[in-house]
Amino acid sequence: NKDVTDAIQKVAAAYDCKIVEGVLSHQLKQFVIDGNKVVLSISNPDTRVDDAEFEENEVYAIDILTSSGEGKPKLLDEKQTTIYKRAVDKNYHLKMKASRFIFSEISQKFPIMPFSAR
């Protein structure tokens, strides 16, 4: 994964762009959009990931964001999160009836993909 990070940085430098910090690319698995193996777009001391080797038949979503500026994202509006996703590989033991109802609705309507609070 570090070789991919280096290649992304070289291409961005060739076009006089900077890679936006904090963007991660993930391994994809069936029904899981954020797998265990991660590729950094830019290496910096604040963000660290485990070294990983790519293997046959693995699929990755490579997210590359570039900027002609500093490469640091700005928070323009402090609004609440409206997009959520369920961790399919986890079991939930909910005590309240309302919590079980909401979880049941989410499981039926949005079994694997992220969804909006709307």
> Where does residue 16 fall: left (phi above 0), alpha (psi -120 to 50 degrees), or beta otherwise?
left
pTM of the model: 0.61
37-47: pLDDT as tens digits: 888 777 776 77
12-37: pLDDT as tens digits: 889 988 888 878 888 888 777 777 78
Sheet containing 24-28: order of strands = 38-40, 24-28, 59-61
Mean pLDDT of 90-105: 90
Residue-by-residue DSSP string for 57-73:
T-EEE----EESS-S--
Which amino acid is it at 93? H
Determine the 3-state secondary structure of 7 from DSSP.
helix
